[in-house]
Amino acid sequence: MVIVMAPGATQDDIESVVEAVGAAGGEAFVSRGVNRTIIGLVGDVERFATLNLRAMPGVADAVRVSTPYKLVSRDNHPDRSTVTVQGVPIGPDTVTLIAGPCAVETPQQTLEAAEMAKAAGATLLRGGAFKPRTSPYAFQGLGEAGLRILADVREKTGLPIVTEVVDAHDVALVASYADMLQVGTRNAQNFALLQAVGAAGKPVMLKRGMTATIEEWLMAAEYIAQRGNLDIVLCERGIRTYETATRNTLDISAVPVVQRLSHLPVIIDPSHSGGRRDLVLPLSRAAIAVGADGVIIDVHPHPEQALCDGPQALVDGDLDELAQIMQEFPKLVSRTLTTSPSA
């Protein structure tokens, strides 16, 4: 069961519901979004029914949710959500461009990539300071030094930061620098990490696990929501199949499927799904056409020198075309382009 609180509900109203549920032998998980607070209940649903929760102050509705992902389901939240990151919206009324270097390497490289991304219309800067890699010998990122570089570039460009956290012990550190926390595909079912980012008080981008079903992906989001955070953006970044012509297989159908099941925004990563520069723009067009709420793209000033994923990073010429796509194509599907806060 899920309790939907009214927009004007007070903290006392919320605590009263939590106390009533606890007195009935249940457990309540409070999740706060931009526009409303939802309380997920665990326990005997029949016993909860005797509490007459709908009549309690501040309660808008009490809903029985049949799906296992109760808080992120559209069953209790029929309107699709918008997640705001330092004033930048990601949701059904926008097509948001998130771009930057896959890995932070140097201050100059990161600043150049950020400026390229912003010129193409990006409103959020992506950049990895912690890089979980398949090989233990591959570049693993600069750690906190990379976070400091990102913070400095944010100061110079005005672009809020999206960066990955790979360990629950590092959540507080990364959150002290980042505007949005990213959970990557390799950690999509790291439940301790999901719970930690859920409690960190920052918006979260959750990439789909490379072998995860859509239900498993939404259940991973539920771990975050259950710790009090409904500001979650889902990212389809390609799944592992038998096909070897591309790095991963972009599941374009995941966008409308998930949007029907969940109120959370859904974006696409055409860089990591295709794995090749020549595929990024066609996949970006496909993402916007199918109704994705945004795209996240790798950009590098010198991809031939990149320490991570250079072959999929866009360069200046590609970015000119990307800018044109972001300016013109969303109009064809009646979407509004998100413009830079400093523009």
Separation of alpha carbons 204 and 85, rounded Å: 9
**Percent of the chain surpassing pLDDT 90:** 67
Q: What is the predicted pLDDT for the residue at 330?
A: 56
| pLDDT tens per residue across span 258-286 | 999 999 999 999 999 999 999 999 999 99
Separation of alpha carbons 326 and 229, rounded Å: 30
Q: What is the predicted pLDDT for the residue at 223?
A: 96
Tell me the pLDDT band of 338, cut-offs 50, 70 and 90.
very low
Q: What is the predicted pLDDT for the residue at 340?
A: 42
| pLDDT tens per residue across span 44-98 | 777 887 888 889 999 998 888 778 898 999 987 888 999 999 999 999 988 999 9
Separation of alpha carbons 241 and 167, rounded Å: 27
pTM exceeds 0.85 for this model: yes
DSSP E strands: which ranges in the chain? 2-5, 27-32, 37-42, 59-63, 83-85, 88-90, 94-100, 124-126, 161-164, 180-183, 204-207, 232-236, 266-268, 294-298, 336-337
Which range among 31-35, 66-70, 182-186, 317-321 has the greatest average pLDDT?
182-186
Pairing of strands 83-85, 94-100: unpaired
Tell me the pLDDT band of 181, cut-offs 50, 70 and 90.
very high
Please, are residues 93 and 82 in contact by the beta-carbon 8 Å criterion? Answer: yes
* DSSP 3-state of 117: helix
